[in-house]
Each structure stands twice: as C-alpha cells, then as structure tokens.
A and B are shown apart, each in its own frame.
Chain A
Amino acid sequence: GAVVSQHPSWVICKSGTSVKIECRSLDFQATTMFWYRQFPKQSLMLMATSNEGSKATYEQGVEKDKFLINHASLTLSTLTVTSAHPEDSSFYICSATGGGEFYEQYFGPGTRLTVT
C-alpha cells in the first residue's frame, strides 16, 4: 500500500517553456503533499508543502510564481515549472502523507527535468 506515482519520469524542455509534473497517491488520500528538489550530489531540499484545497506554503528562497503548485484533489498535486531555465534542471520528487504523522511520507519515484 501507500504508493505514490509521478509523471513524467523524465522530461526535456526548451528554455522559456513551462512543464508540468504530476504527483498522484494511488491507494490513499493524500491530505498533504510535499515537493522536493535534488541537485546532483546534494540532498533532497523541500520546496513547498501543499494541503488539499489550499495554497501551497513555499520554503524560503523558492519562487512561488515560478514553481506553481496545485493540490486540487486528495490524490493529485501538480508542480508547474514556468519559464524554465537551464538552472532549473534537477530531480523533482514529491511525497504525500495520509493524515498520519508528518514523517510518514510516501515518496514518488521522481522526475528528471532537463532544460536545454
């Protein structure tokens, strides 16, 4: 149980375009979803926390107008990277909790974004 999927698993886009990444909880209702970013040889860094039906809370230094997060349902959250630039190339990974302890996060497999 507690499976989280992400789509796409990898994406290449041109600089200046936008790309949307989906995160779905397949067998539970995700009251809270988290979006992380991981650069090579660095740790997972939390970008934002989103609760179903409310606005996402962004971490310091993360541009909310650039990284649009929508958590419209209890099973789906989306991250849209707007006007992508090569420095946005990274590994984006989501996690979800079903209302249990905050640390009971179930992670998706991640999305590799490359901006050319």
Chain B
Amino acid sequence: DQQVKQNSPSLSVQEGRISILNCDYTNSMFDYFLWYKKYPAEGPTFLISISSIKDKNEDGRFTVFLNKSAKHLSLHIVPSQPGDSAVYFCAASAFADKLIFGTGTRLQVFP
C-alpha cells in the first residue's frame, strides 16, 4: 500500500527553466510533508517542508505547493541549475509519526 507516490521516475529539464516534481498521497491524516534531495553515494538531505495548514512554502529557488483537496504536493525549482540534478524524494507524516517516503524522481538538469 503505497501511501506516497511519485509517478514520474525521471524528469529532464533545461538549465534556467522551471523543474516541477510531483507527489500524490492517499492518507488524509498526513499533516506534514517534506522534500529530500539525494546525490549518488550520499544520504538524502532535507530540502524543504510544509505543514498541512499552509498551501505554499518558499525557500529561495525552491517552492513547495500543497493541494489538500487533491492530496497532491509539488516542488518547484526555478531557475533550475545543473547542481540540482539528483533524486528527489517526497515524504509525509501524520501526527509527528514516522516518515513515509515516495519512490523518488530523478531530476536531470542539462545545459
């Protein structure tokens, strides 16, 4: 039972353009959502998060949008840079319980 889904295993974007990574969830009890970035041979690192009481959170080039009615969140990266090339995981949690991860989306930003 995959409660957090990232349906796009990969995404390729030109440098300078916007990258949009999507994540869907099924559990309406999730109240906190996170995005992690993972480079090869390294562990995931926290990128940005959002609470269910908000619909948008912005941090520099990264913005996360939450649509609770659609049970959908997205990560926008603008402008995309080659250093953003990595695997991005979304994760969700209910009541500060364990993190439930998606399967990841590999982003490639090309010049």
Contacts and interface: CB of A to CB of B under 8 A. Distances in A.
Nearest to B32: A103
A27 B87 CA distance: 26
B96 interface: yes
B22 interface: no
A42 B4 CA distance: 11
Contact of B34 (A9, A41, A95, A103): A103
A103 B47 CA distance: 11
Contacts, number: 53
Contact of B99 (A4, A105, A108): A105
A110 B43 contact: yes
B42 to A, nearest CB: 5
Contacts of B100: 43
A36 B96 CA distance: 17
Contact of B98 (A4, A59, A93): A59
B-side interface size class = 20 to 34
A41 B10 CA distance: 12
Contacts of A102: 93, 96-97
B46 A41 contact: no
Interface residues of A, number: 25
B49 A109 contact: no
A107 interface: yes
B14 interface: no
Interface of B: 2, 4, 9, 32, 34, 36, 41-46, 49, 89, 91, 93, 96-104
Given A59-B98, A103-B49, A109-B41, 20 more contacts: A6-B43, A9-B41, A34-B98, A41-B103, A43-B89, A43-B103, A43-B104, A44-B89, A44-B99, A44-B101, A93-B44, A103-B32, A103-B91, A103-B93, A104-B46, A105-B46, A107-B44, A107-B45, A109-B42, A109-B43
